[in-house]
Structure 1
């Protein structure tokens, strides 16, 4: 691959990561990125970070379940408009080594999944969410072997990942605490679900490269990751144990070990790039993620495990994460241009189909990204980029769940077309 095209491609690849982090359907945060595997040369290492600034704002909130809330029943009041999503950062690291002229391997660290919503305790929907946060760590190894084919190469790709997830959800469980003497004793009526899990997954794919024209097309399948048993606790110590009989809930006033099961989604991603004129490159992506695998993640007391499985309809269900995602689709296309031997730039437009079916604020996202790449010499490359987009409007409310259940009966609210921005910086060392 010529130096010109390699320089242009650096800025173009930066935008793929920015778009993935800023659009973030389902629980996607940084997603998967194996582009460093195609870097020519024997050794290449890359590190970067993306900083995302979503401005999602909830409005017109109404507490529709006063028994555990603080709004509609006049207990403690509460705001009807609130900012939902804090800023977040997504780091990544990769080291590619050419084992032979045909075989390459890439070791990576990334944070593919994550979410953080923090509307706080002072809004009328505190019984739905005060703060929810899920983090992930992915340690991956991906290798490829290329075969000569006409003037180009056919590359077979395969790899594995080990993932760790942890997180929590905090919400108001018993709003009526504000009308009792217990409030004066420091009880706030909140409950906290904490969880952690891990699992192993694999990937396989194929790519065709024609270096003469900077042509590359790749199709990579990432298998689902079965987290097995998710372990956690439900902490209801902010509700007095003396209310256990009144509330008909033996778990209030104490911390209970719980368990559940979930699978992180499979995905299929097609990427392409091609030179279209001297110093010009076109590129794009189509990605599908099976987010509908995450519907209602139930948690049951560990002490009941021998009595049956824990699912949305289990009589032992203590709490749950109600998601009801639909599959995600992302489509993007862009252009890159070399200005001189050191500088190139690129721009990309992308659309992400929202995964929400009524229980999250993750609606369609439209994004415009831009980036520059600076290559002072053949061994160093520095990339910087940014993105601006629109998180489209929608609403939260009652949504059909597995069986005859209805989720989202605790609060209703709307959200408008909101802004999302992102900044990215990365560096690459190759030799």
Structure 2
């Protein structure tokens, strides 16, 4: 039944775009550390979101402007190596891209695009390398932990009529406001840690593993401009990447059949992005480009070994809805998903896995400054992935 684990991992590689769980992409897996023997893995995923909406006012008898797709396709890459030092001690080194965002609102061209948010965009990129160790206390209990080095960088633009300065009493436009605002955040790295424990019963393929990930603090060199003109000296924006907890489990439920799942909880409310000019734009000094709630993601599925070479899995995912008013930089709210995976043992050492995931995204309203300006309904995302594994 353990041969199914490669399939489970490749399906997990393909998350939704802007899910309810903040900026999560990889889910920070530690499954490589629990593979049998010495293993090297290379994985690749491609995500195809379809996220479109409507401005919340009619421009003519034709109705409300259609935004077009505001979410760009993106790729995910990961690789790692796990090595058994002795029967009790294992180590692993891996690379992943834990957080990200790719949002870009098309400008209204007379027939499509957003008048209120056209030109607004956000790109967030991250890279992480983690070095882990695991110690088997006995056949049933083990502990694991290690260090994680993580880098983050971003570029955010706010544009459209929603960001014009208006008279509070009449609503009349009295200035450009933040329309055309851009913040470029250069990359910065920090080291965090993770620690966990696992309980196993190998005779029934049972394993329950709990892992805590510390937060990291990133001091991002920041340049702010409006319509191309720098509006403040270069500053430093301090951003907290969230703490999180992963609970992974599996158990055999019949011959060659495995039940598996995971729960991930992340504390995103501490992730605030308040560059100097934007942070003071409402007089508070703490206004944030992000407003992300703490939340969780669930996944549960069944894997089946068909023969010595071929295994398959089906799994279902769920992330709850939060406040219907969301940031324009993440215009979705929760999701429900289904994923299918196959794993084929080409030889005793060489294995290829692949998976596809379809997710239905929750409806949301983009609300810069708390004012709903565009509605996003009936959106979805398709993700595909593959992984190559080699045992040595």
Question: TM-score of the superposition, structure 1-length normalised?
Answer: 0.78
Within a 5 Å distance, the mapping from 1:209-358 to structure 2 comes to 209-227=200-218, 229-236=219-226, 238=228, 252=229, 256-294=233-271, 296-300=272-276, 317=285, 321-354=288-321, 358=325
Partner of residue 98 from structure 2, selected from 102, 112, 128? 112
CA distance in 2, matches of 1:328, 1:165: 21
Alpha-carbon spacing, 1:157–1:270, altered in 2? closer, same or farther (3 Å): same
Q: How big is each residue's C-alpha offset from its partner over 1:170-219, in whole Å with a ceiling of 9 and x where there is no partner?
A: 2338988xxxxxxxxxxxx7332100332111100001122211111100
CA distance in 2, matches of 1:341, 1:173: 57
Matched residue, 1:202: 193
Say yes or no: does 1:27 pair with 2:27: no
Matched residue, 2:40: 45
Quote how far apart the aligned CAs of 1:254 are: 5.6
Alpha-carbon spacing, 1:260–1:30, altered in 2? closer, same or farther (3 Å): same
Matched residue, 1:85: 71
CA distance in 1, matches of 2:320, 2:142: 30
Within a 5 Å distance, the mapping from 1:42-191 to structure 2 comes to 43-62=38-57, 79-122=65-108, 123-126=114-117, 130-148=120-138, 152-172=139-159, 190-191=180-181
CA distance in 1, matches of 2:284, 2:319: 37
Do 1:325 and 1:357's aligned partners in 2 also have CA atoms closer than 8 Å?
Answer: no
Alpha-carbon spacing, 1:199–1:62, altered in 2? closer, same or farther (3 Å): farther
Matched residue, 2:347: 377
Matched residue, 2:385: 424
CA distance in 2, matches of 1:379, 1:270: 29
Structure 1 unaligned runs (5+)?
A: 64-70, 73-77, 177-188, 239-251, 302-309, 399-406
Q: How big is each residue's C-alpha offset from its partner over 1:372-402, in whole Å with a ceiling of 9 and x where there is no partner?
A: 000022211100110112102121226xxxx
Quote how far apart the aligned CAs of 1:419 are: 1.8
Say what the alpha-carbon RMSD is for the aligned residues.
2.8
CA distance in 1, matches of 2:132, 2:197: 12
Alpha-carbon spacing, 1:37–1:355, altered in 2? closer, same or farther (3 Å): farther
Quote how far apart the aligned CAs of 1:23 are: 4.2
Secondary structure of the structure 1 residue equivalent to 2:8: helix
Q: How big is each residue's C-alpha offset from its partner over 1:102-148, in whole Å with a ceiling of 9 and x where there is no partner?
A: 11111011000000101133321237x52110000001111110111
Do 1:21 and 1:90's aligned partners in 2 also have CA atoms closer than 8 Å?
Answer: no
Secondary structure of the structure 2 residue equivalent to 1:292: helix
Do 1:103 and 1:146's aligned partners in 2 also have CA atoms closer than 8 Å?
Answer: yes
Do 1:26 and 1:356's aligned partners in 2 also have CA atoms closer than 8 Å?
Answer: no
Question: TM-score of the superposition, structure 2-length normalised?
Answer: 0.85
Quote how far apart the aligned CAs of 1:333 are: 1.0
Which structure: greater helix fraction? Answer: 1
Partner of residue 412 from structure 1, selected from 352, 367, 373? 373
Partner of residue 367 from structure 1, selected from 330, 337, 353? 337
Do 2:120 and 2:160's aligned partners in 1 also have CA atoms closer than 8 Å?
Answer: no
CA distance in 1, matches of 2:364, 2:315: 25
Deviates further, 349-358 or 327-336: 349-358
Alpha-carbon spacing, 1:313–1:222, altered in 2? closer, same or farther (3 Å): farther
Instruction: State how many pairs are aligned.
Output: 367
